[in-house]
Each structure stands twice: as structure tokens, then as C-alpha cells.
Amino acid sequence: MKLKKLPILIAFSLTAFVSCEDDKSKTSDPAAEIAKVESEYPLDTCVVSDEKLGSMGEPFVITHEGTEVRFCCDACVPKFEKDPAKYLAMLKK
């Protein structure tokens, strides 16, 4: 009776092992993902104040009509919202 269950146990163990290997290949390094996103942003300065992003702490990020916009601080957002087209043009250059 025990010998009949052994192949089933082996098959189950191999399936679990293969599943774990597949999961490892799909996961990526979160730091690498963040670096990739940061490298895709076209500016290293605030679109409103022209201050270096990160000079006042973490950049403040919003999404305006599907476009990510980064600011040096949250105080720049109201200025951006008064004339977003002006500032979005800077991102597209």
C-alpha cells in the first residue's frame, strides 16, 4: 500500500518545486523597478520652481490626465494647477 502512494507523493513534490521556481523567475527586485521608473522621468528638477527634485525631501508626485508630474514640494502643485499646459510642455521637451 505504501509503495502505491510513493509515486503520487513524488509527483506532488516535483510539481510544488517547479511551481516555486516559476514564481521566482516572475518576481523582480523592487529597487530595480523604482530605479527604472525614476530613470524614465525626463526632468531632475521641479517643473514649477526649477529646484532639484529631492532637495526638499522626497519629490511630491501627482498624475495629471495620465501624466506623472514631480514637484520639489507640495506648495508647487497649486501653481501647476493654475496653468498645467505651460508646465506639461516642459515635460514633453
Angle at 78 between CA 76 and CA 82, to 5 degrees: 115
pLDDT of the residue at 91: 84
Domains and CATH numbers, the chain: 44-93 (2.30.170)
pLDDT in tens, the chain (93 residues): 555 666 666 666 666 555 555 555 555 666 555 455 556 889 999 999 999 999 999 999 999 999 999 999 999 999 999 999 999 998 887
Q: Do residues 58 and 70 lie in contact, with contact meaning Cβ atoms separated by under 8 Å? A: no
Query: Does the pTM exceed 0.75?
Result: no
Radius of gyration of the chain (CA): 25
Residue 90, pLDDT score:
85
